[in-house]
Amino acid sequence: MSAAEQKSETKPPPPQHVAVIMDGNGRWAKLRGLPRAAGHQAGAEALRRTLRACIELGIGYLTVFAFSSENWKRPEAEVDDLMGLLRFYLKKEISHLKGRGIHLGFLGDRTGLAPDILEIMAHAERETADGKALNVTVALNYGGRDEIIRAVRTLAKECCEGQLSPEAIDEEILAARLDTAGIPDPDLIVRTSGEQRLSNFLSWQSAYSEMVFIPVLWPDFGRADMEAAIDEYQQRDRRYGAVAVS
Ligand code: IPE
Ligand code: IPE
Ligand code: MG
């Protein structure tokens, strides 16, 4: 067997779950002398391309960071633009998503969102519940620390009500109270725009995720970038604290 054949035989499987921090919309717009909202709109198109690429590449789960619990600090007009885009795309895309076998879900604190958005989200979840081609999870009004606090409150209530003993709490029990209950941890987290931080994304779930940071601004992201990120992931040696298998 040639060295190349041996290498391809030992190539690790592609990631089952890819999470993406879709960053750089504002800089993309600024470079073109456009308002930031135009960057967010172009970002929504990049997301459509990415969904198609994930299905073609056989990814099982895609989680995308769309709006963080800290993004409320932005000017009100930008927050309104982002919420408007979300309403528009969720309504417009739902039948396409359903038709392509996409199952749509959401992470984040729903209590902070407008009632009509909550309704659109619930409708999207119901409509796509049978999707088997790709699980897409949109993180909206999401912060990793906020998610952990909400899970800890649930655990505390269960303990106070005598349904759970504090000693019984382990990783599995806490993970089951997170917004991501039932979703495997991300194997790969990609962040666009060149920033190299998590910005409060999947704080618990990223414990052993591989990170790939790419300089491309999110509105320019496409299938080739996803393939390159997956390729880099497949070069990594995931040891989980153990010794490398050589
Ligand atoms: C990501 O792009 C989209 C959201 C955070 C909603 P940004 O809006 O953060 O773009 P930059 O980082 O300012 O370029
Ligand atoms: C993270 O990007 C949130 C999303 C992509 C939705 P930000 O642009 O908000 O992150 P910081 O402020 O640069 O850390
Ligand atoms: Mg940003």
- Interval 44-73: pLDDT, tens: 999 999 999 999 999 999 999 999 999 999
Q: Going by C-beta distance under 8 Å and a sequence separation of 6 or more, which residues neighbour residue 115?
A: none
Give yes or no for residue 189 CB within 6 A of ligand 1.
Answer: no
Residues with a CB atom less than 6 Å from ligand 2: 21-23, 65-68, 71, 195, 197, 199
What is the average pLDDT score of the chain?
Answer: 96
Q: State both tokens at 238.
A: 């995931």
Nearest 5°: the CA angle 175, 206, 142 is 70
CA neighbor of 185 nearest in space, from 238, 226, 227: 238
pLDDT in tens, 167-208: 999 999 999 999 999 999 999 999 999 999 999 999 999 999
What are the phi and psi torsion angles at 231 (to 5°)? -60, -45
- Edge to edge, the sheet with strand 102-107 lists 102-107, 134-142, 61-68, 17-21, 188-191, 210-213
Q: How many Å lie between the centroid of ligand 1 and the Cα of residue 3?
A: 43
Buried/exposed 122-156: b ≥16 CB within 10 Å, e otherwise: eebeeebeebebbbbbbbbbbbbebbeebbeeebe
Is 187 tagged catalytic? no
pLDDT in tens, 82-128: 999 999 999 999 999 999 999 999 999 999 899 999 999 999 999 99
**What is the atom index within ligand 2 of the atom nearest the CA of 67?**
6
Location of structure tokens 């070069």: 235
| 5 has a pLDDT exceeding 60 | no
Determine the straight-line distance between the first and last CA of the chain, rounded to whole angstroms: 18
Annotated active-site residue in 25, 71, 80, 141: 71
> Among 81, 142, 199, which is best to mutate for testing ligand 2, by the most ligand atoms less than 8 A from CB?
199
Give yes or no for residue 38 CB within 6 A of ligand 1.
Answer: no
Q: Which ligand is nearest to the CA of 217?
A: 1
Q: What percent of the chain has pLDDT over 90?
A: 93
Q: Which ligand is nearest to the CA of 142?
A: 2
| 246 has a pLDDT exceeding 70 | no
CA neighbor of 126 nearest in space, from 106, 147, 151: 106
| 2 has a pLDDT exceeding 60 | no
